Amino acid sequence: MSEKKTCLVAGGAGFIGSHMVRRLLKDGYKVICVDNLCTGSKDNIKDLMDNPDFKFLEHDIKEKLAIDGPVDYIFNLASRASPIDFSKFPLDILITNSRGTHNLLNIAKEKGARFLEASTSEVYGDPKEHPQKETYWGNVNPRGERSCYDESKRFSEALCMAFYNKFGVDVRIARIFNTYGPNMRKDDGRVVPNFITQALEGKPLTIYGDGKQTRSFCFVEDEVDGLLKLMFKEGISGDVFNIGNPGEFTMLELAEKVKEITGNSSELVFKDLPEDDPEKRRPDITKAKEVLGWEPKVLLDEGLRKTIEYFKDLKS
């Protein structure tokens, strides 16, 4: 029997990461989860701690990391991702996505590992092209409140390409669009956990701006499936793919869905729109469909139902 391959998942105790590490263990990989728990939680992985194929390292990727033994695949999911953190932790975000990504790319180079970077639809900024294709270069304000995240993710893409071009490291870049599901934090600040928590607590749902801005929401199991297809596909080194669900909804539509599924008659309360909040966002996933044979399967209503069940079961 061949030896199991080893995956290093940075950010593996976070929302997407905790689903990723479970799926990798189920698929027969060994997993090293590296996380500093700044937004992640041991609760997300506590059932895996006794698994002999799973190892947890509490470590900040801003600092260099030495790993014993082979590493075959590195998933870099380590970064704060909620807009409420952009004004609170700008330097942490900038350095994590630059020096942190650099530290992990050096491990990939040293170990001969394949590398997947979790980039973001935020590299498109407030897009002038709609829907967004991978060929679009984006419309990002380099000095605004979101710039610590948007620009450092753009820099992380540039770093990946430099390691690919200069050292031949096998890199793949995923531009992840708004993803939601179980294991998001109640107080994460992103729109889906906010609306669900508010509805379940009978509080008004907070709509920023007029609520007509759009987003495209991907259920986490679909997202993880897309990221794995991207990592394990042969012959696409150095390439970039949008991984998201093209269904597009206004925040008013999302609020109505959450109210309907929770059976809650919460009011809507309108708050200021954050600076540089993108007006619309929808991935063009033609490339992922054609090259990776991937497309999302879970409709928003179904994914919201599963997420609402998770939040109902959470002990506050």
Residue number, 266 or 311, with CB nearest to ligand NAD? 311
CA atoms of 128 and 131, how far apart (whole Å): 9
Q: Residue 194 binds which entry of ligand UDP, ligand NAD, none, with Cβ cut-offs from 5 to 8 Å by kind? A: ligand UDP
Asked if 96 touches ligand NAD (CB under 6 A), the answer is: yes
Q: How far is the CB of 176 from ligand NAD (least distance, A)?
A: 4
User: Residue 103 has which token pair?
Assistant: 């530290």
Q: What is the largest CA-CA distance in the chain?
A: 60
Sole residue written with tokens 């297809």:
229
Question: Binding marks (x or -) toward ligand NAD, 35..64, rule CB under 6 A?
Answer: xxxxxx-------------------xxx--
Asked if 78 touches ligand NAD (CB under 6 A), the answer is: yes
Position among 7, 21, 100, 222 found at the interface with ligand NAD (CB under 6 A): 100
Q: Residue 15 binds which entry of ligand UDP, ligand NAD, none, with Cβ cut-offs from 5 to 8 Å by kind? A: ligand NAD
The answer to whether 149 is a known catalytic residue is: yes
Position among 6, 7, 8, 17 found at the interface with ligand NAD (CB under 6 A): 17
Task: Judge whether 192 and 182 are in contact, CB under 8 Å.
Answer: no
Q: Whose CA is closest to 111, among 176, 50, 65, 158?
A: 65
CA atoms of 283 and 226, how far apart (whole Å): 13
Burial 292-305 (b: 16+ CB within 10 A, else e): bebebebebeebbe
Residue number, 185 or 305, with CB nearest to ligand NAD? 185
Q: How far is the CB of 83 from ligand UDP (least distance, A)?
A: 4
Which of positions 106-145 make contact with ligand NAD (CB under 6 A)?
A: 118, 120
Question: How far, in Å, are 30, 68, 70 from residue 110 at the CA level?
Answer: 19, 12, 10
Tally of helices (H runs) and strands (E runs) in the chain: 10, 13
CA atoms of 44 and 12, how far apart (whole Å): 9
- Residue of 73, 149, 164, 180 marked active site: 149
Residue number, 72 or 145, with CB nearest to ligand UDP? 145
Residue number, 111 or 185, with CB nearest to ligand UDP? 185
Binding site for ligand NAD (CB under 6 A): 11, 13-17, 35-40, 60-62, 77-81, 96, 100, 118, 120, 176, 178-179
Q: Which residues are catalytic?
A: 149
